[in-house]
Amino acid sequence: MTDKASMADLMAMGVSMAIDTCGGAHVPYCEGRIDATEADPSGVCEPETDIKTTLSTFSGAGFNQADTIALMSCGHTMGGVHHSTFPQIVGPETVSANNLDGGHAFDDTVSTYGINNV
């Protein structure tokens, strides 16, 4: 971060370049974000949080309902649920020498990015 570029701008530029480099869509980069000066209330929504509270939490961060749905559905095209955090959903059979947390991917195209798999 410098007096000319905010941390938020640097993160946005990194995301834009990473998506491009991985062969995904071209996300235009625009600068001008202002970094927060203090932390938001701690804690995140949990899977069992009701929809009203979830929408209200995202609204507090400036996201409307469409933004919230887009963020959640797109954010969850990569990664997965882990046995270590949700043993009631993902069983111990997913734990291996190469994956000590165990886990199950959210979908079967976790390493495919871009508009072709939408």
Q: For ligand HEM, which is the closer residue by CB, 4 or 7?
A: 7
75 binds ligand HEM (CB under 6 A): yes
Query: Contacting ligand HEM (CB under 6 A), which of 10, 45, 55, 95?
Result: 45
Between CA 10 and CA 71 the distance in angstroms is 20
Q: Give rounded-to-5 percent helix, strand, coil for the chain.
A: 35, 5, 60
Q: Is 86 in the site for ligand HEM (CB under 6 A)?
A: yes
Find residue 96's DSSP bridge partners. Answer: 99
Rounded to a whole number of angstroms, the minimum distance from the CB of residue 105 to ligand HEM is 8
Which H/E stretch holds residue 9? helix 7-21
Interface residues toward ligand HEM, by CB under 6 A:
45-47, 54, 71-72, 75-76, 78-82, 85-86
